[in-house]
Structure 1
Amino acid sequence: MRKNFFRAIINYPQKFPSWPDFEISSEAFWTALAEISPFTIPEGYRTFYRLYASRFSKTRWGDKTPLYCMSLVTIRRILPEARFIHIIRDGRDAALSLRKMWFSPGWDMATQAAYWRKCILAARRKGLGHPDYMEVRYEKLILNTRETLKQICKFLDLDYDDSMMRYYMRTPQRLKEHKGRLLPDGTLLTEEQRYRQQQGTTEPLDQTRVFAWKSAIQPQEREQFEHVAGDLLKKLGYEV
């Protein structure tokens, strides 16, 4: 089981592994796994994350993979200590941002709306009511950042530090890890393209991105989105 776990991690995802991004040697990872006795899958995951966090002298770690919204139950089972922070953004703004990415589910607003709706509902279905789950509105995080971060820190049992407001000063160090990689269809995603994908994280928060959809999408696109997900927008308190 230990060897299978090791191979699964360093070769994930299949066809275009992201292992080089973490800048952890496979030898160091295997050595750390070999020290686990008895070996378990949960402890294997903890070891991987601890190794990565230790590169930055950190004792806590987090993973911001968006599709984990579909797997809260599985993650709870494997890592019962996990806490989930669900950042909810107006779906029309989320669509404008996502549809430019190589991993977008599609360009048209109807497809974007269905995807946004599916993700929001999946996370809320398994998250609401659990003490390990917190919802944060993207708009509040951008417009009232310091207070929102303090609330998040309290949820995570972390001390707030004002250096969190200057996150963009440390981001380039992380983005340097992103090398070019092949996509499932065989095309090359270059290092430059990956950097541009997250370039916004290298800059201070941009409040103009809040409700940008009001001036950035066509009336028919808004209609398409709201036809599919207007009920959820309304339920979440967004303008429809």
Structure 2
Amino acid sequence: MFIVFGSPRSGTTLLKETLNLHPDIFIPMQTTFISTAAHVIGSVSSWEHAVRILAEIAAESDDYAGAFGSVLSKDEVRSAVMGAQPGLAGVLEALYGAMAGKLGKRICGDKSPDDLLSIRKLEQAGLLTSNLKFIHIVRDVRGSLASLLNVDWAPQGIEEYFPRIWNYTNLHLYRAMSGAPNYMMLKYETLVAEPRPVVEQLVELLGLDFVPGMLDAERRGMSLRSNPSHLNLSRPFLPERAHAWRSKLTPGQIEHCESSAHEALKVFDYI
């Protein structure tokens, strides 16, 4: 099992749909299960009680139909979770492994910006010291913010606090995992400029062989093409978008990003 980590509008969906073009990989629709499970495990000391709660959350949450329900029945979800090894990693291995097995895939993963936003809880739940594999995509905060300001679901005033959240969460994961053999950090800007070598490294991390069809934009994100937030999924990789923020953000917004997220911008070689 693997997790794709990334801030909102950092290319996580582009990466997810690229990986989903591999015949041995499946990543379901976005879910909040991992972050929710981490909070439950951190709040309920009895595993017997915690696992029952987790089984019901996975089967009865609003996310079920779009994520787990596309593959597993509610009873199959409950069975997978109840039979898991204790701990968050055990639950995820069991649940996502059940989906992979049902689909005849070799590996199944998760993608949700909620995961990175809950990075401290995931760390406390022992996830970052597990054997799961972690893919961390980072996009220049100025690019992410410019993209966020174009979607109708972004909270009002997000330009004020998003750079600080981006700085903390991405640095936290990077500092905790950098150098680990089950972790790979990639930059959105590199992915769109040189997709093949990046994707080759990703599938190698997952123990698979590269499939050229993963770069076929015409097949990418078929189920999301009517979503206004993902209109570019069906287009070839767009390297020109990497620096579009220069003409999209005001000087004041750029300055705020650079001052609020200076540390991470420097660590990830954006300044």
Question: Partners in 2 of 1:202 and 1:156 — Cα distance?
Answer: 24
Aligned to 2:242: 210
Task: Report deviation, 1:74.
Answer: 4.8
Question: Partners in 2 of 1:168 and 1:137 — Cα distance?
Answer: 23
Gaps of 5+ in 2: 1-47
Task: Report deviation, 1:143.
Answer: 0.3
Question: Partners in 1 of 2:75 and 2:212 — Cα distance?
Answer: 37
Larger deviation, residues 81-90 vs 163-172: 163-172
Counterpart residue type for residue 19 of structure 1: Y
Question: Contact 2:199 / 2:210 at 8 angstroms: preserved in 1?
Answer: yes
Say if 1:54 and 1:171 are closer, same or farther in 2 by CA, change over 3 A: farther
- Deviations for 1:90-134, whole angstroms, at most 9, x for unmatched residues? 110011123444664653533121121122112112111322221
Counterpart residue type for residue 57 of structure 1: G
Gaps of 5+ in 1: 177-191
Question: Partners in 1 of 2:79 and 2:123 — Cα distance?
Answer: 30
**TM-score, structure 1 normalization:** 0.75
Q: Report whether the alignment pairs 1:166 with 2:231.
A: no
Say if 1:231 and 1:33 are closer, same or farther in 2 by CA, change over 3 A: closer
Q: How does 1:1-240 map to 2 (within 5 A)?
A: 1=48, 3-12=52-61, 17-22=62-67, 23=70, 24-32=72-80, 36=83, 40-41=86-87, 42-54=89-101, 56-69=103-116, 70-71=119-120, 73-74=123-124, 76-77=126-127, 80-101=130-151, 104=154, 106-166=156-216, 168-173=218-223, 175=224, 195-239=227-271
Question: Contact 1:90 / 1:238 at 8 angstroms: preserved in 2?
Answer: yes
Aligned-residue identity in percent: 23
Larger deviation, residues 78-87 vs 57-66: 78-87
- Deviations for 1:168-205, whole angstroms, at most 9, x for unmatched residues? 515224x49xxxxxxxxxxxxxxx6xx22233323322
Question: Partners in 2 of 1:207 and 1:28 — Cα distance?
Answer: 42
Task: Report deviation, 1:82.
Answer: 0.8
Say if 1:98 and 1:233 are closer, same or farther in 2 by CA, change over 3 A: same
Aligned to 2:45: none
Question: Partners in 2 of 1:75 and 1:82 — Cα distance?
Answer: 13
Question: Contact 1:149 / 1:160 at 8 angstroms: preserved in 2?
Answer: yes
- Deviations for 1:146-171, whole angstroms, at most 9, x for unmatched residues? 01111222222210110110155152
Question: Partners in 1 of 2:158 and 2:207 — Cα distance?
Answer: 41
Question: Partners in 2 of 1:27 and 1:58 — Cα distance?
Answer: 21
Task: Report deviation, 1:76.
Answer: 4.9
Aligned to 2:28: none
Question: Partners in 1 of 2:146 and 2:128 — Cα distance?
Answer: 34
Question: Partners in 1 of 2:165 and 2:93 — Cα distance?
Answer: 30
Question: Partners in 1 of 2:241 and 2:183 — Cα distance?
Answer: 26
Counterpart residue type for residue 95 of structure 2: F
Question: Contact 1:105 / 1:111 at 8 angstroms: preserved in 2?
Answer: no
Aligned residue-pair number: 215
Question: Partners in 1 of 2:228 and 2:218 — Cα distance?
Answer: 14
| Aligned alpha-carbon RMSD (Å) | 2.8
Question: Partners in 2 of 1:8 and 1:164 — Cα distance?
Answer: 33
Which entry has the higher C-alpha Rg, 1 or 2?
A: 1
Counterpart residue type for residue 54 of structure 2: F
Question: Partners in 2 of 1:167 and 1:64 — Cα distance?
Answer: 19
Question: Partners in 2 of 1:146 and 1:75 — Cα distance?
Answer: 34
Question: Partners in 2 of 1:142 and 1:197 — Cα distance?
Answer: 18
Question: Contact 2:59 / 2:77 at 8 angstroms: preserved in 1?
Answer: no
Counterpart residue type for residue 137 of structure 1: K
- Specify the SS of the correspondent of 2:137: strand
